[in-house]
Amino acid sequence: MNQVTTPAPQVLLAEVTHRCPLQCPYCSNPTELIKKDVELSTADWARVFEESAELGVLQVSISGGEPAARRDLTELIGAAHEADLYVNLITSGIGITKDRLNDLVGAGCDHIQLSLQDVDPDGAKLISNLNKSLERKLEFAKWVTDISVPLTVNAVMHRLNLDRLPETIKLAQELGARRLEIANVQYHGWAALNKNLLMPTQEQSDRTNQIVKEARESLEGQLLIDYVPVDHYAEYPKPCMNGWGRVALIVAPDGSVLPCHNATTLTHLAFPNVINHSLENVWYESDAFNAYRGDTWMHDICRTCDRKEIDFGGCRCQALSILGDASAADPVCSRAHPHALVIDDDTQVLELVEPDLITYRPNA
Ligand code: SF4
Ligand code: SF4
């Protein structure tokens, strides 16, 4: 693989911290959270933003954890803006006062993506393990739209809140969001530990597909709806990260550079760090980023498949965790695994959900 055949990255996900005041049991952060004392400095991040812009990146999503847990968030946003990147802040809204929001926007924040745990206050409390989290988010969303910053609502859906999807769509409209992401939980990491609480039923999944279809039709031109269906009931896998090392790169709080959130579960790969590697070197030359580019790594069923440029064989982390082979076709794929491998696992759905049955991620 060389610079001619590898496209430049377009998107940088800057995970500036894993600290978070919420404790969502499906959090996409790894189960081994990176500690504050090894987080990159403000100057390190400024260099990452400059290098990524030079590499061709157009947009940075500053994320976490909760990025507001970093006292230097305004400086980080300013540095990304200075590097000429479009700056999207992914936040829970908790820990950002109205004045701080104004500072962030003044420093160059172009867009805000607000996570939503549930439209029901008790449901939001159960998932976030934080009192009044919904009420605080609603207040924050109003501040955002009052100053005309484009707002996306990111609603993570699962068995406990999917029945409130119509209300979720309605709330996104009422908040003035321009875009709504309806993202079903991906069962890796923390979510895998809570699968028996969170996994929807087939009936919920089918109903959700229909509700999203109807909402997209009726709200066309008013609210853009992105949708991540329930993986386990899909016919084909999703194009994980739009293909390994094709579009996006993630920099973790300690500076490790990853092609996807869960890539550290692929322990046979060594992920370079921005402390001692340039982003250009990582993107084009590193073994980790080149490992699953192209199709030479694929098993025959994917290499000869007409969908290989659509889904790129799906998720490497899911292939490793369920099949024990990171090069296998995604376990979701009905062509490669016609016997419903993913659904036939031993998940026992719990009927009653109490907080002490949930494995919450810690705050830090
Ligand atoms: S705990 Fe929740 S709000 Fe915090 S980073 Fe994880 S998913 Fe986001
Ligand atoms: S066989 Fe491979 S490329 Fe084809 S649909 Fe399945 S996962 Fe995708």
Tokens of 358: 């949930």
Please list, residue by residue across 40-56, b when 16 or more beta carbons sit within 10 angstroms of its beta carbon and e when fewer do.
Answer: beeeebbbbbbbbbebe
Please name the residues in contact with 349: beta carbons below 8 A apart, sequence gap of 6 or more: 159, 196, 199, 201
Asked whether 361 lines ligand 1 (CB < 6 A), one says yes
**In testing the pocket of ligand 1, which one of 27, 114, 117, 360 has its CB within 8 Å of the most ligand atoms?**
27
Regarding the beta carbon of 91 and ligand 1, being less than 6 Å apart is answered: no
List the structure tokens of 118.
């549930």
Going from the Cα of 297 to the center of ligand 2, the distance in angstroms, rounded, reads: 13
Beta strands in 34-178 (DSSP E): 59-63, 86-91, 111-116, 151-157
The DSSP H or E segment spanning 1 is none
Minimal CA–CA distance to 30: which of 253, 302, 213, 203? Answer: 253
Q: How far apart are CA 152 and CA 113, in angstroms?
A: 5
Q: What is the pLDDT along the chain (364 residues), one digit of tens a residue?
A: 444 489 999 999 999 999 999 999 999 999 999 999 999 999 999 999 999 999 999 999 999 999 999 999 999 999 999 999 999 999 999 999 999 999 999 999 999 999 999 999 999 999 999 999 999 999 999 999 999 999 999 999 999 999 999 999 999 999 999 999 999 999 889 999 999 899 999 899 999 999 999 999 999 999 999 999 988 888 999 998 999 999 999 999 999 999 998 899 999 999 999 999 999 999 999 999 999 999 999 999 999 999 999 999 999 998 998 889 999 999 889 999 876 666 555 555 555 567 778 999 999 9
DSSP characters for 55-94?
A: HT--EEEEESS-GGGSTTHHHHHHHHHHTT-EEEEEE-ST
CA of 342 to the centre of ligand 1 (A): 25
Which amino acid residue places its CA nearest to atom 5 of ligand 1?
Answer: 65
Query: What ligand is nearest to the CA atom of residue 130?
Result: 1
Instruction: Using most ligand atoms within 8 A of CB, pick from 20, 28, 125 the residue to mutate for ligand 1.
Output: 20
- Tokens 């978070």 locate to 20
- Which ligand lies nearest to the CA atom of residue 191 in the structure? 1
Distances (CA, A) of 333 to 152, 259, 328, 341: 30, 21, 10, 9
Lining residues, ligand 2, CB within 6 Å:
236-237, 301-302, 305, 307-308, 311, 313-314, 329-330, 333, 335-336
The ligand that comes nearest to the alpha carbon of residue 24 is 1
Non-local (6+) Cβ contacts of 357 within 8 A are 197, 350
* pLDDT tens digit sequence for 109-146: 999 999 999 999 999 999 999 999 999 999 999 999 99
CA 54 to chain CA centroid, Å, is 24
Pocket test for ligand 1, best of 13, 18, 24 (most atoms within 8 A of CB): 24
301 close to 224: Cβ distance less than 8 angstroms: no
CA of 231 to the centre of ligand 2 (A): 14
Give 198 Cα–ligand 2 centroid separation in angstroms.
Answer: 26
**Separation of alpha carbons 313 and 309, rounded Å:** 8
User: CB of 158 closer than 6 A to ligand 1?
Assistant: no
Helix (H) and strand (E) counts in the chain: 14, 9
What pLDDT, on the 0 to 100 scale, is given for residue 188? Answer: 87
CA of 24 to the centre of ligand 1 (A): 5
pLDDT, tens only, 285-326: 999 999 999 999 999 999 999 999 999 999 999 899 888 999
Residue 88 pairs in a beta bridge with: 61, 111
Ligand 1 center to 20 CA (angstroms):
6
How far, in whole angstroms, is CA 37 from its chain's centroid?
A: 24
Residue to mutate, 295, 306, 307, 312, ligand 2, most ligand atoms under 8 Å from C-beta: 307
Ligand 1: which atom is nearest the Cα of residue 29? 6
Mutation to probe ligand 2, out of 299, 303, 304, 305 (largest number of atoms < 8 A from CB): 305
Q: Provide the pairing of β-strand 257-258 with 59-63.
A: unpaired
Residue with tokens 């549930």: 118
Q: Which of 6, 1, 34, 9 is nearest to 19 (CA)?
A: 34
pLDDT at 185: 95
Instruction: Return the residue whose CA atom lies nearest to atom 8 of ligand 2.
Output: 313
* CB 164 within 8 Å of CB 124: no
